Amino acid sequence: MTPLPLSSLIEQDPRLSRRLTWRDHPQAPEILPIVRARLVALGYQATRVDNERCAAFSDTEWKNHGFEPLGHQVWKAQPWHPSWLDHHGMPPDLSVAIAEEIRPNWSVAADSFYSVAVGKSMYLSPGQQDAVRAAAVARPGDSIIAVLPTGAGKTDVVLSRAIRERPRQTCLIVPTTSLAIDIERRVQALIDDSLVLAYHSQLTTTQKFDYVDRVRSGEQWLIITSPEAACTRLAQPLVESATAGRLACFGIDEAHMVAEWGDAFRPAFQTLAGLWNRIRAAAPEGNEPVTVMLTATLDDYVFSTLQRLFPGTHNLLVSAQATRAEPAWWSSHCSSEDEKRGRLIELVRHLPRPIVIYTSLHSSEKSTNVSTAVRWLRESGIDAVATISGNTTPDMRKAAVEGLRLGGPPDEDLDIVVATSAFGLGIDIRNIRAVVHLCVPESVDRLYQEVGRGGRDGRASASFVLWTDADRDVAADLARAKLIGDRRAWKRWQKMSLGNRTDGMLTVDLTAFHEDVKFPWSDLNRYWNMHTLTAMDRAGMIKLDWPLPEDVPADASEDELQDHFARQRSSIRVEVLQGDLGHEETFRKRFRESQRLSRDTSSASVTSATEVVDGSIGCCINSYLARHYALHSEGNIYPVAIQCGGCPHCRELHRSVRILRDPPQSYFHGSLHSEPSSTLANLAVGGRICIWTEGPQPDEEQELVNRLVEQHGIVTLLSEKRWNPIPTTTRHLWWEQRFKDWLTSPRFLRVPLLVRVDTDTNASHLRRLLSRARQESMVVVLTDRDQPDPFDDRIQLRESWGIGFHVNQILRRL
């Protein structure tokens, strides 16, 4: 094996070449892991060091990073088998160094209306197709929850409807400025328009005022913004747009955060419910916006919360969940912080870049915090590292993302970000190869979502958890800290319930306090009052009417918007749903039962996270996750398909990576429907019309199909083989389906059908199709004059299927 010149590796690797370009004296811990990853990917190749700067690295440094010498300035990458990981002969860095393609191709041909809207010829999966069709069919006031795997094109579910609805307006709520800007760039390139679409802190004051004016006037057809901005500066303009009937769609990306973050961190996620209620109430009847909630993870608790906060006229869940196959799971219990430190340094010496490292703590000394982790890295010679925590500014967060992406100048490149859970939501860095937890996350949801930061490009990633007993205790404390006891909740409610009552609503003072509260005006007192009310709301004792902060200047920064929430959340309106809440025993019993359920959920979640980390689940981690995220409603179970990129259980059994070659099945809860035009409905008998031709009449058939789709609400074109003629319209909603697919598909969308029956149509298939079609509200059959009825060949189909019209006759009536 001839050693490869190091100079050739440098030419091929942008991260490596940029690092050596701007550093006069590069540090081995920042260079050698990148070199190692390249050589491992090439089959544990050797390199001849023909770079003067790298030739200065000591033999000890090369050996510490997993190389063995083969001669003077010739080093070979060696397989890495750390004794403290259950590798079973599988080097933990092999697949991630190769960046092995893991994500399967589940794509299907796109519908015409979707292709025209977003410029794509394929759906990424049948689940995306189902969600896009549902959002397209939804009528005013309907609500949809779409659960699709990471990388499955969730945002396009909203964008495809938004673009079709222009010039009517769509508001899309996203969690981060970087995501808002990314979506803006995509849409601008797609429609070849430079209109500012994202409202965020980086706009100039003039741009912000102009944006608000465009929302008010209706010129701003797509509004991409954060929950804070939507519920402050943009709230009134959005309500005015709804009042005028212009707001067609209200989308929430990462919708699970409404339930998971709304109580304390970023309360604007739950304040969205108050904004949404005002928008719904302001919109003219029959012109309410469609609500679309998008997420990659959903459990029963979040599902019920979203249903409660955003109920629609008709509601639909589209779930095509599958566990992710990209991450391989690794975990190691450490006896001390020193041991954890040593193992972390060994990891970062062997793993490819970029890496995200998570801790639970920002500054507390109970366990590893952000500052400690960064100190460990810098003491080991790694400087290309940044920190992200809850108090990090948006500009710093953006700089971290750009640094990992190599999106700025070389001297701002980053290899590693050390973060709390504040870093991740809406962050889409495609090529993160490893996620390391120096903690036990307080919930399995947090663990899974943060592991999901890796491998978003569909290639192999790795998850490592280095934990101590103290980390497990911190996780339990964090989980317990979210709950309040029934005795203290009663004391707080007694004081808060003394507020003013008007129009059947109680205005609650969030600074109210009882005798045990030492600092009434503190954020902590407001937090526990708000927490008490939120728990009562979930228990069905009250209903919260979330306030919208007023008088927020248009040029407010993201940080200032957060401050406005903190200052103005001094009171809230409450509708009391149970009249006996003034009785202590009754109150405490109901509250206790609600908190028991919350405590059980919280305890189960932290237990699940701990069991995943300590390996006590006794099964494949992804099988465990699939059970956790399976949804239950009204006696139905909506399962999660299982994939696995490697876990302790599967490695022990020497199982290979488990990938679903066939896409996960979509599951549906609820249904949506659309109606035909009144003209078509009045012509039908029992929702059935048979239109017949005398032999081929291509011009008349083309005109018929165009009119039915463009003017009369026909959506599905159903035939045994490829549909002909295709509608010439590009803007109206329609798609085609084959008999066999329609017969086996769930009836979650009830739309008017046009069925083509040719002379060679299989009679058995036709009987099955027409039997099911009798249950639909509108079915138009297009056939030949002499096509026999499949149930009785003594008569023609045109005589038995509702009312019959010759094609020329119905064209005159349409």
Residue 641 carries which DSSP code?
B
Q: Which pair of structure tokens corresponds to residue 762?
A: 């299989």
Other beta carbons less than 10 A from residue 660's beta carbon: 14
Distance of CA 16 to the CA centre of its chain: 32
Distance of CA 252 to the CA centre of its chain: 9
Q: Do residues 150 and 457 touch, judged by C-beta distance below 8 A?
A: no
Q: Is 317 helix (H, G, I), strand (E, B) or coil?
A: strand
Other beta carbons less than 10 A from residue 104's beta carbon: 16
**Residue whose token pair is 């005798």:** 515
251-285 per-position pLDDT tens digit: 999 898 877 654 445 555 667 888 898 999 999 99
Fold: same for 131-324 and 674-813: yes
* SS (HEC) of 485-548: CHHHHHHHHHHHCCCCEECCEEEEECCCCCCCCCCCCCHHHHHHHHHHHHHHHHCCCEEEECCC
Q: Do residues 173 and 226 touch, judged by C-beta distance below 8 A?
A: yes
Residue 394 has pLDDT above 80, yes or no: no
Residue 694 carries which DSSP code?
S
- Mean pLDDT, to the nearest integer, of 717-737? 91
427-479 per-position pLDDT tens digit: 678 899 999 999 999 888 889 989 999 999 999 999 999 999 999 999 888 87
Distance of CA 554 to the CA centre of its chain: 29
In CATH terms, the superfamily for domain 131-324 is P-loop containing nucleotide triphosphate hydrolases (3.40.50.300)
| CA atoms of 386 and 417, how far apart (whole Å) | 5
- Cα torsion 480, 483, 486, 490: sign: positive
Q: Do residues 704 and 780 touch, judged by C-beta distance below 8 A?
A: no
**Percent of the chain scoring above 90 in pLDDT:** 66
Sequence ranges of the domains in the chain: 1-78, 131-324, 486-597, 674-813
H-helix or E-strand spanning residue 198: strand 198-199
Helices 584-614 and 621-629: angle between axes, nearest 10 degrees: 160
| CA atoms of 35 and 393, how far apart (whole Å) | 33
Q: Give the pLDDT score at 563.
A: 67
Average pLDDT, the chain: 90
Q: Give the pLDDT score at 262.
A: 47
576-593 per-position pLDDT tens digit: 998 888 899 999 988 888
The strand pairing partners of 742, in sequence order, are none
- Pairing state of beta strands 169-173 and 222-225? parallel
Q: Give the pLDDT score at 301.
A: 83
- Cα torsion 125, 128, 129, 130: sign: positive
Q: Is 632 helix (H, G, I), strand (E, B) or coil?
A: strand
Residues 6+ apart with CB under 8 A from 216: 237, 240, 241
Residue 568 has pLDDT above 90, yes or no: no
**What is the widest separation between alpha-carbon atoms in the chain?**
94
753-807 per-position pLDDT tens digit: 999 999 888 888 899 999 999 999 999 999 999 999 999 989 999 999 999 999 9
Reported pTM: 0.90
Residue 546 has pLDDT above 70, yes or no: no
Residue 410 carries which DSSP code?
G
- Cα torsion 713, 715, 717, 723: sign: positive
Cα 59 to Cα 16, 27, 78: the distances in Å are 20, 14, 15
**Helix boundaries (H) for 653-734:** 678-683, 698-711
Q: Which pair of structure tokens corresponds to residue 232?
A: 């402050």
Q: Which pair of structure tokens corresponds to residue 515?
A: 């005798």
Other beta carbons less than 10 A from residue 44's beta carbon: 17
Cα 705 to Cα 446, 737, 807: the distances in Å are 50, 15, 11
Q: Which pair of structure tokens corresponds to residue 398?
A: 């953006």
Q: Which pair of structure tokens corresponds to residue 166?
A: 């222009």
CATH architecture assignment, domain 674-813 = 3-Layer(aba) Sandwich (3.40)
201-220 per-position pLDDT tens digit: 888 989 999 999 999 999 99
Q: Which pair of structure tokens corresponds to residue 497?
A: 């319930």
Q: Do residues 729 and 709 touch, judged by C-beta distance below 8 A?
A: yes
Residue 383 has pLDDT above 80, yes or no: yes
- Mean pLDDT, to the nearest integer, of 540-546? 82
